[in-house]
Structure 1
Amino acid sequence: MYVVLLTYTAPLQEIDYALPDHVEWLAKQYEHEYLLASGRREAHLGEVLLARPMPRGKLDAVLASDPLALANLAHHEVIDFVVTRTAAQLRELNESITH
């Protein structure tokens, strides 16, 4: 599984202009079941994405297609981790993505 820290690298006015395309891109990633969760970081620094396990090259290709990345408005930092424990509410999800 991956945690992706998306950091804006441009003024918020430029980010706001590109957000509709980014939101559409996010929707497509959910349709493909690549993303499990996403949300805005505090103080509008960027976003956090939770991506399901996949080959790292595939994830890199998906992130490279983000309109914010294509326009050089954001940087993606990828943190790879293995889920070994979850809250009871997430146990079924954890079992479905690790087996």
Structure 2
Amino acid sequence: MFVVSLNYKVPLTEIDRLQAAHIEWLKACYADGIFVASGPKKPRTGGIIIAQCPREILDATLAADPFAKAGAADYDVTEFLARMTIAVLDSFREA
């Protein structure tokens, strides 16, 4: 499983211009079963994505983000093993 931290590199006006396309990209990633959770940081300096897939798929997926294509965000990817979860997330637990 991966935690992806997006950090905006451009003003929020540019992020807002790309937001609709980014949301459509997110929806497709959820439909493909790649993303588990996502949302903006507070304060709004970027976002967080929780993903479950092979690293090469994640890298290709992140490269397709409209934010990435526009050079509007950097992505910091951290892999971790979800050894403990609340009951509703048991299917994401890793040995």
Distance (Å, rounded) in 2 between the aligned partners of 1:5 and 1:61: 16
Unaligned residue ranges in structure 2 (runs of 5+) = none
Name the TM-score, length of structure 2 as normaliser: 0.93
What is residue 15 of structure 2 aligned with on the other side?
Answer: 15
Q: Does the residue aligned with 1:42 lie in a helix, a strand or coil?
A: coil
How many residues were matched structurally?
A: 95
Q: Does the residue aligned with 2:43 lie in a helix, a strand or coil?
A: helix
Distance (Å, rounded) in 1 between the aligned partners of 2:92 and 2:44: 29
1:82 aligns with 2:85: no
Q: How does 1:8-87 map to 2 (within 5 A)?
A: 8-52=8-52, 54-87=53-86
Letter of the 1:94 partner, please give it. Answer: F
Q: Does the residue aligned with 2:33 lie in a helix, a strand or coil?
A: coil
Letter of the 1:30 partner, please give it. Answer: Y
Letter of the 2:35 partner, please give it. Answer: L
Distance (Å, rounded) in 2 between the aligned partners of 1:28 and 1:94: 20
1:4 aligns with 2:15: no
Work out the percentage of aligned pairs sharing the same amino acid. Answer: 39
Q: Does the residue aligned with 1:76 lie in a helix, a strand or coil?
A: strand
**1:56: Cα distance to partner?**
1.1
**1:23: Cα distance to partner?**
0.4
Letter of the 2:89 partner, please give it. Answer: L
**1:89: Cα distance to partner?**
2.9
**1:36: Cα distance to partner?**
0.5
Name the TM-score, length of structure 1 as normaliser: 0.90
Structure 1 vs Structure 2 CA RMSD: 1.3
